Chain A
C-alpha cells in the first residue's frame, strides 16, 4: 500500500466518524420534530453504542493504568486533559442517544395501540427496535391490567372491552398533516400542494410545510426536520 492510500483510508475513516456524529444528531432532531415515529436507526445506534462502550473502557483503563503509550505509566497533565476531552465526548453522545431513545418511547406510549396494530400486521418491521417492541407490548399489557383492575371488571360484560365503542375511535394516531420546520439538503425537490400548486424547494432553504408532504424526503435524508 502506498502512503497516499494509507492517508486516504485514514481520511475516509475520519470522515465516517464525523458522519456518525452528524447522523446521530440528525436522527435525534428528526425524531424530536416528526409527529410520527420514524424507522429505528438500527445500524447507526449499534455503531454508536459499541463505540461509546469501547471508549468508556479506554477511559477506565487509563484512569487505572495511566498512559499506556508511555512506559512509566505516569499521568501527565496533557494526558489528563485529553481524558477530560474524551469523557466530555462520551457525555455528549450519551445525551444524544438518551434524547433520541426517550423521545421515541414517548411517541410509542402516546400512540401505543396504533403501533401495536402496525407491528401485528407487520406493515413495517423496521419501525421499532427489538427492545421497543418488547417495551410496547409489555407496557400495553400493564395498561390493560390497570384498566381491568381499576374498573373494567366492575362494568357490564359488553362494556368491558377496550376497543368496541361505537362512534369516536379511541385509538390515538399521529397527526401527519402537522406543520414542521424543514431544512433542504438537496435540490430538485418540488412539493405538490393542494389546488395544483407547486412549491419548489431550494437547497439550503428553510420552510414550514405539512409533514406528510416531506416524510419520504426525510426518510432518504434529502430534507431534515429542524
Chain B
C-alpha cells in the first residue's frame, strides 16, 4: 500500500528518538520511499497523457476524467506525505547529532571509558539525550553534517571564550570540598598550593583537583 514504508520510517523514528544514541540509518526503507515517490511521479505523467488523450477524443468523458483526477490527487498527496516523513525523519536525526556535538566528546562504536566519564559528568542530561554516537550508523550526508555542525559549534563557542558552553547544565555546587586523607601518599600540587597526603589530615580543596585521588582511595569527601 502507498505510504506504508513512510509509516514504518516514522515508527522507527519514534522508537529511536528516546534512545541515548543515533540508531542505524534506514537505507533500505528510505530507498523504498524514494522509489515510491518516483513511481508515483511516473504514474502522474501517464495519467496526464491519459487525460490529454481523452480530451483530444473530444467525446463526453466527464466520468472517466473525474476518475483520473482522483487518481492524480491521491498520487500527489502520497508523494507529499512521503516527503514530509523523510524530512521529519532526517530532522529528528540531525537533532540527535546536534545533541552529541554539544557534549564535545569523540564519537565511538561502543561505550568506551571515555564516553562513560562524560555520562557521569552530565547526569543532568536525562535518559534520552544523545550521549553516544557511532559514525557507522550515519549516512554519508549525515557524517558530513556532523563534521560541519561541530565546526559551527566551535566557532560559536569561541565567541565566549571564558564560558564553558559545553559544560554541565547542572548548577555548580561544592566546587571546593573538605577531604580527609585515608592513606599516606606523596605531595599533591594544585593551583591553590601543595598539600601532603598524610593519613587523617584534612584539607579544603577544589573537587576537580582531587577526583582521581578519591577514586584511588587516597581521600574521602567529608
Contact = CB atoms under 8 A, between A and B. Distances in A.
Interface of A: 49, 52-53, 56, 63, 75, 80-81, 83-84, 87-88, 91-92, 94-95, 97-99, 101-102, 109, 131, 134-135, 138-139, 142-143, 145-147, 149-151, 154-156, 159, 162, 165-167, 170
Interface residues of B, number: 47
B196 to A, nearest CB: 15
B192 A156 contact: no
Contact of B84 (A75, A134, A165): A165
Interface of B: 30, 33-34, 37-38, 41, 79-80, 83-84, 86-87, 90-91, 94-95, 98, 102, 139-142, 144-145, 148-149, 152, 155-156, 159-165, 167, 169, 171-172, 175-176, 191-193, 204, 206
A142 B152 contact: yes
Given A135-B152, A150-B86, A150-B90, A84 B204 contact: yes
Contacts of A75: 193
Contact of B156 (A81, A83, A131, A151): A131
Main SS of the interface on chain A?
A: helix
Q: Could you say which of B160, B162, B176 has the most chain A C-beta atoms within 10 Å of its C-beta?
A: B162
B169 A99 contact: yes
Contacts of A49: 160, 162-163
A87 B100 CA distance: 29
Contact of A94 (B38, B140, B163): B163
